[in-house]
Amino acid sequence: MNYDKKTIRDIDVSGKKILLRCDFNVPHDKKTGVIHDDTRIVSTLPTIRYLLEHNAAVILLSHLGRPHGQWKQEMSLFSARDHLEKLLGIPVPMTTDVLGPDTKAKCAALQPGQVVLVENLRFRIEEEKNDPEFAKELASLADIFVFDAFGCAHRAHASTAGVADYLPSVAGLLVEKELAFMGKALDEPQRPLVAILGGAKVSDKIGVINSLLQKADTIIIGGGMSYTFQVAQGGTIGTSLLDADHIDYARDMIAKAKAQGVKLLLPTDNVVTQDFAADAPSRVVPSREIPDGWMGMDIGPETAACFTEAIQGAGTVIWNGPMGVFEFPAFAAGTNAIAQAMSTLENAVTIVGGGDSVSAVEKTGFASKISHISTGGGASLEFLEGLELPGIVCLEDR
Ligand code: AMP
């Protein structure tokens, strides 16, 4: 996939109507609409502001939740709109339909320097189906398509890819930043490149491990997925998470890493408990020798020290997935150690990719010391996997 895409900086947007796909799919209270985390809204502000300052008229598009083509009031974008109004300090009118008469009237009347938000696109079934007629009608509202919803880049929907068939299409500033950091980290990283993978399931990260074996110098595996690797090495893991369908795969990855000269680091000790509970009594045992009835909840101190040492020598670090059940403070030490090690690197590029790892790094308080925190969970995983992302591929090459 070519990462060198045209952006809003490369084209003249003055006096033009822009269809700007954002990701306002923010965690919120379904009853009160209160937004729990506004990161996705805040991260699109530079693009919205740039367009308004350069005399464009901006039609904002987003989805929220999974209404599957039904009008569901609790998935209306109104709280995102209210929040955006506060952040931008200008009125953000919203449409009362999706591509109906109200959308068409409001978009037709829109003037440069003004903004309007279209109601949740997924209220129409054609959005997720990437219906060409729907995409064409959407495109007819504007002159240019700007894609800034990196978190949705792996979806081929009407508003993330379909409209690009009908309009000149470029990246927004958030997508530009994501491509710059993640693309460079994969294509021409400052070496050594250390990739850290954790989280619950091996199956989620299969493609990523395979792809990183071609690119990384060191791969660190912790978290729930590491126990399958311990079984692949002939160990016992008690009641720890096991992805039984992927034991052979894990064995294969260990062999491949060896053959290709990639350092693959696995835990050597684990914090284990008898219950999956925040206050369960714990002890530290050697990995691959976890007793019956005990489950791994975190990497142990020896492993944390070893992983820290590997991170300290890195030129680039990419991290996706916690090292343990970090939601329980007693089992967050391993995850914290990774965040801390990354935060102390002076001349390295550090990237945290999406989802739970982002909440983990924010919990540790080291987020401001990380070079780039990706806004895409699934999208950044697919990016690391080397897959073509429909929301990116459809943009014009520079
Ligand atoms: P993922 O969505 O695959 O990145 O997984 C994140 C989840 O993995 C978090 O909710 C963690 O609590 C969980 N996790 C990490 N390590 C373990 C473990 N050893 N046992 C159970 N769950 C874990």
Tokens at residue 236, please? Answer: 């016992």
Ligand 1 geometric centre to CA of 274 (Å): 17
Ligand 1 geometric centre to CA of 184 (Å): 28
Distance CA 355, CA 53 (A): 32
pLDDT tens track for 347-376: 999 999 867 788 888 888 888 899 999 988
pLDDT of amino acid 212: 93
pLDDT tens track for 184-202: 898 899 999 999 999 988 8
pLDDT of amino acid 201: 84
Task: Report percent pLDDT > 90 for the chain.
Answer: 84
**Pick from 203, 159, 180, 148: nearest CA to 321:** 203
pLDDT tens track for 84-95: 999 999 999 999
Q: What is the mean pLDDT of residues 274-291?
A: 98
Instruction: Write out the H or E segment, with its range, that includes residue 126.
Output: helix 125-129
Tell me the backbone φ, ψ of residue 61, rounded to 5 degrees.
-120, 140
- Residue nearest to ligand 1 atom 20, measured at CA: 224
- Residue nearest to ligand 1 atom 18, measured at CA: 224
Radius of gyration of the CA atoms of the chain, in A: 23
Distance CA 111, CA 108 (A): 9
User: Are 13 and 345 a contacting pair, CB within 8 Å?
Assistant: no
Helix, strand, or coil (residue 127): helix
Tell me the backbone φ, ψ of residue 173, rounded to 5 degrees.
-70, -30
Q: Would the pLDDT of 304 be above 90? A: yes
**Pick from 210, 247, 216, 252: nearest CA to 229:** 247
Q: Would the pLDDT of 66 be above 80? A: yes
Distance CA 273, CA 281 (A): 6
pLDDT tens track for 218-247: 999 999 999 999 999 999 999 999 999 999
What is the set of active-site residues? 40, 201, 355, 378
For 139-182, list the strands marked E by DSSP: 144-147, 169-171
